[in-house]
Structure 1
């Protein structure tokens, strides 16, 4: 198995600009480290935003937000005979409003890895589906939204109550085949257990991948239906190191809805047929300045709900490492419109800093 994949998995790195951790203990085959990041940024809206609490539109505003801060604890243990066990706990932080629920669970799992036999993980984890579909989910300010539509229950991002297996088989210099299996014992009301299969190939700086996910859902539906997603993806390079290009295309049944979009007329229907599209092109200069442009859209083929675009947007972004652990970022997202009745376009901007622990 590709040892780089094992190292990333054990360290708890999924995707993103970087992953750091402070090692507190390393002795007799055991390690323990603390990682995560905190951020503060200003998020602004240029258009009118629908407020579901007041059932009215409000003019554009600026809010101070935390940009998905988290803290994690990571431990590994050498089991001998080439096996390594690891455990991870990660919690989202609420440190801006001073209210309750200061910590909420993001990840919690135990894994066992072997260079030849692969890696098995049990718990709340980044899913095998996300290994393939998450390759464009990179920038800090604006990234892939459609992956996070009920992602805990649908397993498209951080999958809850999942058992997974992955392996990466080297076939020669700079060539390997990878694959994964996942099964969710869903505890979320309205979602039954789900299964996933992923396959792909790495060749030098290129990657091609396919993911399949399926399981019944009744949430927001009049009767139970099978929620299915096929994801195709391709990428070149490594994000934050020179040129990086990646694209994801998904074909879905009962995976996406129309809730939480900028309209007061919509009640949040689940689409029986939809497609998700995400594309990113980025270039990181030698001085660590990383410029990117990304496009995302969800297209509906459900003529009963909306026949056309659910949402579409394009973002222009920049990230700069002042130090290896202190990053500034800025982004402007252009709302390219929607075919949902009553939708109002709303551009957004986000500027802030992130400190990696």
Structure 2
């Protein structure tokens, strides 16, 4: 149980080989450094681009107390391995991803405060497991600004509690008010998640979050799903009903419904480290008032292959985009992506 709590307390949600360098560990205090760097080549609509692949570096500190508690400090920054520009201006090379301090205990659970993966993501992130793309129909990384401010991705200004009781896992969080965003001032937010792990490798889970804003309507996220995993196979399916949480046709949806599916099959009998994957995202507007409705939809199907060897991952994904604009016409481009990533 203690290992499960610690894993949730310092979750990094990284697909691929789990790598980290143990810089120091005397049995009481420890420090590890990890992360990844990579590039993704994309071909779509006749264009070829070479992009950064969500590079990051993290530092994890831990100290075991005689009382049975373990203290943790985690800091993680994303960085751009190659320069990127927006409106002619160079983007920041480094940017904050995680930063929190915590305490965990085998029986009492894990407490954390700062910027951390949300308790919503503990469940909703089951389908966000693509090698290159990801889940995009449950509003995890969306909201008035992004899922960090809205409490569904890497939640800002958050206090969290997680614990496991046999096969039952729970997560609770509360977000403080925020004054750093000019067009969406958060008053407060909360989230709760619960999942149950069965012995056969099947897990069932659900999550709910709500965020209040000053002089604006609150956002809500209700998701539920299941996953199955063993040594060879990983399958996950999620369904969500969302309020003021997603965008279609550049418009914040008053109501929307989303579905995400993901599967991965290890083919070590063919080639050690080789696997096949597939995924599906669908998001539709579900607003009742005509003024809030949009006919735009998100619909994407992905197939791909992954090869992992040592600290490296190579992947290819082909995404078939059948999304439609508000006029009901297809406006997405099919994309072929090739990835090379190094974990450290």
Whether these two folds match at TM > 0.5 is yes
Relative to 1, partners in 2 of residues 1:11 and 1:254: Cα closer, same or farther, differing over 3 Å?
Answer: closer
Q: Quick check: 191-200 or 7-16, which moved more?
A: 7-16
| Conserved? CA contact 2:9–2:162, under 8 Å | no
* Correspondent of 2:331 among 327, 339, 344: 344
Relative to 1, partners in 2 of residues 1:12 and 1:273: Cα closer, same or farther, differing over 3 Å?
Answer: closer
CA offset at residue 111 of structure 1?
1.2
- Is 1:157 the equivalent of 2:118? no
* Correspondent of 2:190 among 167, 191, 195: 195
| Conserved? CA contact 2:194–2:206, under 8 Å | yes
Relative to 1, partners in 2 of residues 1:38 and 1:254: Cα closer, same or farther, differing over 3 Å?
Answer: same
- Is 1:20 the equivalent of 2:19? yes
SS at match of 1:155: coil
TM-score using structure 2 length: 0.89
SS at match of 1:147: coil
**Equivalent-residue separation in structure 1 for 2:17 and 2:257 (angstroms):** 29
| Conserved? CA contact 1:44–1:61, under 8 Å | yes
SS at match of 1:148: coil
**Equivalent-residue separation in structure 2 for 1:305 and 1:338 (angstroms):** 17
| Conserved? CA contact 2:275–2:307, under 8 Å | yes
| Conserved? CA contact 1:206–1:237, under 8 Å | yes
**Equivalent-residue separation in structure 2 for 1:155 and 1:65 (angstroms):** 27
Gaps of 5+ in 1: 47-59, 171-175, 259-265
Gaps of 5+ in 2: 85-89
- Is 1:112 the equivalent of 2:99? no
Match of 2:66 in 1: 80
**Please, what is the CA RMSD of the aligned residues?**
1.8
**Equivalent-residue separation in structure 1 for 2:147 and 2:318 (angstroms):** 25
**Equivalent-residue separation in structure 2 for 1:352 and 1:285 (angstroms):** 19
- Is 1:69 the equivalent of 2:52? no
- Is 1:237 the equivalent of 2:236? no
**Equivalent-residue separation in structure 2 for 1:224 and 1:29 (angstroms):** 48
- Is 1:275 the equivalent of 2:275? no
**Equivalent-residue separation in structure 1 for 2:202 and 2:47 (angstroms):** 41
Match of 1:315 in 2: 302
Relative to 1, partners in 2 of residues 1:229 and 1:11: Cα closer, same or farther, differing over 3 Å?
Answer: closer
SS at match of 2:251: coil
How do 1:293-304 residues align onto structure 2 when only pairs under 5 Å count? 293-302=278-287, 303-304=290-291
Relative to 1, partners in 2 of residues 1:12 and 1:215: Cα closer, same or farther, differing over 3 Å?
Answer: closer
Length, aligned pairs only: 323
* Structure 1 residues 175-200: Cα deviation after superposition (integer angstroms, max 9, x where no partner): x1111110111425313210011112
CA offset at residue 202 of structure 1?
0.6
**Equivalent-residue separation in structure 1 for 2:91 and 2:52 (angstroms):** 16
CA offset at residue 305 of structure 1?
4.2
**Equivalent-residue separation in structure 2 for 1:33 and 1:120 (angstroms):** 20
* Structure 1 residues 239-266: Cα deviation after superposition (integer angstroms, max 9, x where no partner): xx411110111111111122xxxxxxx5
CA offset at residue 116 of structure 1?
0.6
| Conserved? CA contact 1:311–1:336, under 8 Å | yes
| Conserved? CA contact 1:13–1:19, under 8 Å | no
* Structure 1 residues 2-50: Cα deviation after superposition (integer angstroms, max 9, x where no partner): 223134246543352332110000115000011000011201213xxxx
Match of 1:53 in 2: none
Match of 2:239 in 1: 249
TM-score using structure 1 length: 0.86
Match of 1:288 in 2: 273
Match of 1:225 in 2: 217
